[in-house]
Structure 1
Amino acid sequence: MKKIRRAINKKVGKPPGEAVYTGNYSEEQTKLIYRFYNPDTFDEVKPIELSEIKPKFNSDVNWIELSGFNDIEFIKKFGEQFAIHQMLIEDIVNTNHLPKFEENEEYIAVVLKAFSLKENGESYNRNNICIILKDKFVLDIHEFSNNINDSKIERIKLGKGKARKKGADYLFYVLLDSYIDTYYLVFDDLSDRLYELEDLLLGKSKENLIEQIHKIKKEITELRKFLFPLREAIAQIIKDEPELIEEDNLIYFRDLLDHLNQLTEYFQMYNDMVKSLVDLNTSNINNNINQVMKFLTIIATIFIPLTFIAGIYGMNFEYMPELQFKYGYYVVVISMVLLGISMFLYMKMKRWF
């Protein structure tokens, strides 16, 4: 919540279209990588200066990757060179912006989030990404460098698959598919953690696990903010059938929509599971309290008649026949022990505990 508040504060008072980076990777240097290919060749230049980027006339696809939002002025110049509207540049560097689809005469663009595993292997980095499709150009802009597309780059370099034989619109799909697949990584992790909590709760854990459950619920709620708008964005691409995407390639975007529908089902399933875990945790807590109360009640019940007997012989009457009996003390103590044991055995026979 504090991170969101700080990000909003950075935007307050700024004019519309003013690019302000609101993320947490301000030390990530801004750099460019230029890849271009056709069915016969593939080449890669990294790093490269903005002024050196020129379309290769013998290449069918020009793939420009920009990573790092450290240098906002550089990003603005990048946007000017490729005729990207300043409002879209603003949305790209605003890491709290929801996913969306944008189309104009020059390009189509999708803003989305992708996830990558942190070095500790216990949590995820959230990467703000924008993919822009122009004629023979794909601009792949992301908040920080990552290895999400390494396998895709290697396949294209080796000429495997369809990418080298198709145009920029197919690469646009390939990148979207790669970033959408990272949501499966997050849901797989959530699934493992949810089922682990479920096993603990079904095992009648005496520990209150509400903090762990609430943490997962928070992560699932955050995923919803990015998943549902992204599904709408892909659906809008299919509906609009942009000129920059060949009709034959629209089937791949329908496949993306299928993936997002499946991810939405995962969200609904895990969201319901979190609710059931909250109920199960509450039930376990109540059951533990009931067990304690039952134990205390049994102890109290056993000692009620013993206290009654002790109370009788604790009265200060002058004439009590039993007080003159030589073995009176032993008889009373043994009677109290036998009474306590018999009550305990009776309760055990009735399965009251």
Structure 2
Amino acid sequence: MVGKHRQPGNIVTRRDLIREGEIDIQMEYFYDVPGSMPGTLRIPSDALPPIIGLIDYNEQKAVRLQLGTPEECAPHLDSESVSWLDVKGLGSEDVLQRLGQVFDLHPLVLEDVVNVPQRPKVEEYDDQLLIIARMVTPTESGSSFHQEQVSLILGRHYLLTVQEEPEFDCFGAVRDRIRTAKGIIRKRGADYLAYSLLDSIIDGFFPILEIYGEDIEELEDAVVESPTHQTLERIHTLRRELLVLRRAVWPMRDTINSLIRDGSDLISEDVRIYLRDCYDHTVQVLDMVETYRELASSLMDVYLSSVNNKMNEIMKVLTVISTIFIPLTFIVGIYGMNFDREKSPFNMPELDWYWGYPLCWVLMIVIALSLIAYFKRKGWFENVS
């Protein structure tokens, strides 16, 4: 999908369209075309070419390589060291099919990896474990977030991760821990690596939620002090983006719980203990998202109340002004009538008084001041901005 204002030949990603408002940021899961053959791959038209990186490590050393083809990683899969193959980008069906052959992936596994977005889930095959997760990272401006699917295929001594795009991820800290041998990651197997990546994905939600927490605080002040149409748009956008976060993290809770409960042979008991901590973080993220969604909904109510109160204050001011001028208009209307004084002595005799005009002014001023004093005593002028 390309906007009308774009120049031909420019690469346009789905993220660009989301950022510019040409498509909806709300995540919709992938669904198969009715009657299509199982295992059919549907490459997104804006997908970027895959970049294949390999990190092979054990307790003594760690090697990081950039691979040109999927076949180059085959010798590392049979070694006792842990091999992490990270594929970024889904833009080549040929590379992905060859990747499936190297890792002996089931056609349905490859379908879930390529046909994005899928609902976060975990599925166990003969000697592999498929984990689908949603990853979010803050935008450059810090006002929103990028989201993409991350697929993890766990084997006995290897972990294959496939990301939608090569530009963003939250795995930098894990790569640094492997490179510097910090912690116990190089002493553990591929299952601990899978846990570390899942933990990084879950922890990546916290900076996003911190941004939205600050936005909610600003909106709370805005809806009370100066509610505008732009404020309403910000609240609406906030609610929709929080819904996207909820749809991303809610099934993640069930996914991690399934890893803990189901007891796959590929995940050791020690790693399940760490997954419990990851599950706690997921529940915490979900609680924060739910809390912020409730606050965003209450902000909408506060906005409507503030607008109504502002309208009521305006109507109060107009009512006070109109009430003061009603008797004055009545007096002016009476003396604006054209009665002939020569026809009858009762036709407005005060028009012949020497002080008639000043007395009329004094009468109107006294009436206006009396009404103002009465309204003030009743409290009508309180809280009138």
Q: Same-fold call, TM > 0.5?
A: yes
Shifted more, 30-39 versus 315-324: the winner is: 315-324
Partner of residue 278 from structure 2, selected from 235, 240, 256: 256
Contact 1:32 1:66 in 2 (8 A): yes
Instruction: Output one character per residue of 1:251-272: Cα deviation in whole Å (capped at 9) or x when no partner.
Output: 0111111111111111221121
Asked if 1:29 corresponds to 2:49, the answer is yes
CA distance in 2 between counterparts of 1:173 and 1:5 reads 25
Q: Secondary structure at the match of 1:18?
A: coil
Report the secondary structure of 1:40's partner residue: coil
Pairs within 5 Å for 1:222-301: 222-301=244-323
What is the DSSP-based 3-state SS (H/G/I as helix, E as strand, rest coil) of the residue aligned with 1:268?
helix
In the other structure, the counterpart of 1:328 is 356
* Matching residue within 196, 209, 216 for 1:174: 196
Question: 1:200 aligned to 2:228?
Answer: no
Offset of residue 342 of structure 1:
2.7
Return the alpha-carbon distance in structure 1 between the equivalents of residues 227 and 80 of structure 2: 65
**Is the CA contact (8 Å cut-off) linking 1:11 and 1:20 kept in structure 2?**
no
Give 1:123 shift. 2.2
- Partner residue of 2:63 out of 43, 47, 55: 43
Measured in 1, the distance between the counterparts of 2:126 and 2:263 equals 13
1:109 aligns with 2:130: yes
Instruction: Give the distance between the partners of 1:124 and 1:2, measured in 2 at CA.
Output: 15
Amino acid at match of 1:190: Y
Task: Give TM-score, length-normalised by structure 2.
Answer: 0.85
Tell me the amino acid that sits aligned with residue 352 of structure 2.
Q
**Match in the other structure for 1:92:** 113
Aligned to 2:162: 141
Q: CA 1:303/1:274 → structure 2, altered by over 3 Å: closer, same or farther?
A: same
Which stretch shifts more, 35-44 or 3-12?
3-12
Q: Distance in 1 between matches of 2:308 and 2:300?
A: 12
**Change in 2 beyond 3 A, CA 1:9/1:165:** closer
Of 330-339 and 267-276, more deviation after overlay is shown by: 330-339
SS in 1 for 2:267: coil
Secondary structure of 1:216 counterpart: helix
Contact 2:135–2:148 (Cα < 8 Å) also in 1 = yes
Query: Structure 2 counterpart of 1:342, which letter?
Result: S
Shift in CA distance, 21/190, structure 1 to aligned 2, threshold 3 Å: farther
Residues 113-148 of structure 1 deviation map (CA, whole Å, 9 limit, x = unaligned): 111222333221112110111010001110112252
Aligned residue in 2 for 1:16: 38
Report the AA paired with residue 273 of structure 1. Answer: L
Q: Distance in 1 between matches of 2:124 and 2:31?
A: 29
SS in 2 for 1:245: coil
State the distance in 2 between where 1:183 and 1:121 align: 13
How much does 1:190 deviate?
1.3
SS at match of 1:140: strand
What does residue 342 of structure 1 align with?
370
CA contact (8 A) 1:64 1:138 kept: yes
Amino acid at match of 1:298: V
Per-residue deviation at 1:11? Answer: 4.7
Write the deviation string for residues 260-315 of structure 1: whole angstroms up to 9, x where unpaired.
11111112211211121111111001101111111111011001111111122122
| Unaligned segments of structure 1, at least 5 residues | none
Give 1:322 deviation, angstroms: 0.7
CA distance in 1, matches of 2:290, 2:27: 28
Note if 1:79 corresponds to 2:100: yes
- Structure 1 residues 97 and 122, CA, compared in 2 at 3 Å: closer, same or farther? same
**AA in 1 matched with 2:71:** S
Q: Deviations over 1:206-248 (max 9, x none)?
A: 4242221111111111122111111111111111111011112
The alignment's C-alpha RMSD in Å is 2.2
Residue 190 of structure 1 corresponds to 212
Counterpart CA distance in 2 for 1:351 and 1:298 is 12
Range that drifts further, 179-188 or 236-245: 179-188
User: Structure 1-normalised TM-score?
Assistant: 0.93
Distance 1:206 1:111 in 2: 41
The AA in structure 1 aligned to 2:258 is Q
Q: Tell me, yes or no, if the aligned pair for 2:142 and 2:211 is still in contact at 8 Å.
A: no
Give, in angstroms, the shift of residue 25 of structure 1: 4.4
Bigger Cα displacement from structure 2, 247-256 vs 307-316: 307-316
Determine the C-alpha separation between the residues in 2 that align with 1:198 and 1:13: 50
> C-alpha separation between the residues in 1 aligned to 2:124 and 2:262?
9
CA distance in 2, matches of 1:10, 1:303: 71
Alignment partner of 1:101: what SS?
Answer: strand
How many residues align? The count is 350
Q: For 1:87 and 1:211, locate their aligned partners in 2 and report how far apart those are by CA, in whole Å.
A: 41
Of 79, 82, 85 in structure 2, the residue corresponding to residue 64 of structure 1 is 85
CA distance in 2, matches of 1:160, 1:121: 29
Contact kept in structure 2, 1:10 and 1:20, CA below 8 Å: no
Residue 46 of structure 1 deviates from its aligned partner by 0.9
